[in-house]
């Protein structure tokens, strides 16, 4: 199908294999649609500007679909989500829900299982970073 995700998992960066930037943009768009449509997650998002949020996440997504073996050097996800964790009770279950929507978005756009697995494996380690208290928390809360 046109605009879909490449059917064959193989060589190259995830970005190439997923079908290029266009497809990544579609995945992200659909992901946000799903996040904002969720009656629980909207608690954390209702007062966020979606354009701002997307801009903030773009570095992450570029990394996510970029070449393998490159460490993420962006802003700490703990710090980025500290406010919703501490003030609004964002839980590991909420994180899991977000991950489910990301996976669904890829699936809806026809991503092959193997490729989805790779993307999800790249995302899961951030869960620990989200919920592990850090010495920097106090600084951010001050």
> For binding to ligand HEM (CB under 6 A), which residues are involved?
35, 41, 44-45, 48, 53, 56-57, 59-60, 74-75, 77, 80-81, 84, 94-95, 97-99, 123, 126
For residues 9 and 129, which CB has a smaller minimum distance to ligand HEM in the complex?
A: 129
Q: What are phi and psi of 10, to 5 degrees?
A: -165, -130
For residues 6 and 126, which CB has a smaller minimum distance to ligand HEM in the complex?
A: 126
Q: Could you tell me the smallest distance in angstroms from the CB atom of residue 23 to ligand HEM?
A: 19
For residues 6 and 99, which CB has a smaller minimum distance to ligand HEM in the complex?
A: 99
* Helix or strand holding residue 112 (H, E): none
For residues 5 and 28, which CB has a smaller minimum distance to ligand HEM in the complex?
A: 28
Q: Could you tell me the smallest distance in angstroms from the CB atom of residue 41 to ligand HEM?
A: 5
Q: What are phi and psi of 71, to 5 degrees?
A: -70, 150
For residues 26 and 44, which CB has a smaller minimum distance to ligand HEM in the complex?
A: 44
Q: How far apart are CA 33 and CA 22, in angstroms?
A: 17
Residue least distant from ligand HEM (Cβ): 98
Mapping DSSP onto H, E and C, the string for 88-105 reads HCCCHHHHHHHHHHHHHH
Q: Could you tell me the smallest distance in angstroms from the CB atom of residue 64 to ligand HEM?
A: 8
Q: How far apart are CA 79 and CA 108, in angstroms?
A: 31
Q: Please name the residue ranges forming H helices in the chain.
A: 14-18, 21-37, 42-45, 50-64, 77-88, 92-108, 113-123, 126-131, 136-141
Q: Could you tell me the smallest distance in angstroms from the CB atom of residue 7 to ligand HEM?
A: 26
């Amino acid at each position: 199908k046109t605009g879909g995700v490449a059917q064959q998992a193989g060589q190259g960066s995830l970005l190439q294999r997923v079908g290029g930037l266009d497809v990544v943009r579609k995945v992200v768009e659909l992901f946000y649609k799903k996040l904002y449509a969720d009656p629980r997650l909207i608690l954390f998002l209702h007062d966020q500007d979606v354009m701002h949020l997307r801009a903030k996440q773009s570095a992450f997504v570029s990394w996510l679909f970029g070449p393998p073996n490159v460490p993420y050097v962006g802003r700490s996800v703990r710090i980025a989500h500290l406010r919703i964790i501490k003030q609004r009770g964002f839980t590991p279950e909420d994180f899991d829900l977000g991950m489910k929507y990301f996976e669904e978005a890829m699936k809806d756009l026809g991503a092959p299982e193997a490729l989805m697995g790779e993307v999800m494996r790249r995302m899961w380690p951030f869960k620990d970073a989200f919920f592990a208290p850090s010495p920097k928390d106090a600084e951010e809360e001050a």
